[in-house]
Amino acid sequence: TPVHPAFSHHLAATYGTGAYAGPLYSFPRAVGDYAHALIRQDPLGKPLLWSPFIQRPLHKRKGGQVRFSNDQTIELEKKFETQKYLSPPERKRLAKMLQLSERQVKTWFQNRRAKWRRLKQ
């Protein structure tokens, strides 16, 4: 699959010059027939290199676990100190404020209550 000339320098830096024969040749052989999935168009029609490794958020860890920022953790802990359980509207508001999903907030509170019970004993 041909590679847009703008990305040839990226491929050389990432995979070395032996990974492709020149600026308009294929992705490395390991990518195989799926190379077309690595290039998509942005809203302006310009090709973009797509990679889950490049676009993965920094706070996301292996296995789908999330590492909350210090600010998020501080806010979650403050809320937990005053309120061990959140109603759905409270959870929605907190999630929006912290830029997290409601499910992340719900899971954080479940885990925090479990830790709280362990420490209480």
Higher pLDDT pick, 66 / 6: 66
Question: By three-state DSSP, how is residue 40 classified?
Answer: strand
Q: Where are the domains of the chain?
A: 5-55, 62-120
pLDDT value of position 44: 62
The verdict on domain 62-120 having CATH code 2.40.30.260 is no
Q: Calculate the CA dihedral of residues 75, 78, 80, 86 and round it to 10 degrees.
A: -60
CA 51 to chain centre: 11
pTM above 0.85, yes or no: no
CA 69 to chain centre: 13
Higher pLDDT pick, 35 / 103: 103
Amino acid code (one letter) for 24? L
pLDDT digits (tens, 9 = 90+) for 3-58: 555 555 555 555 555 544 444 544 455 555 555 555 555 556 655 554 454 444 55
Instruction: Give percent above pLDDT 90 in the chain.
Output: 44
Rounded-to-integer distance, Cα 8 and Cα 25, Å: 9
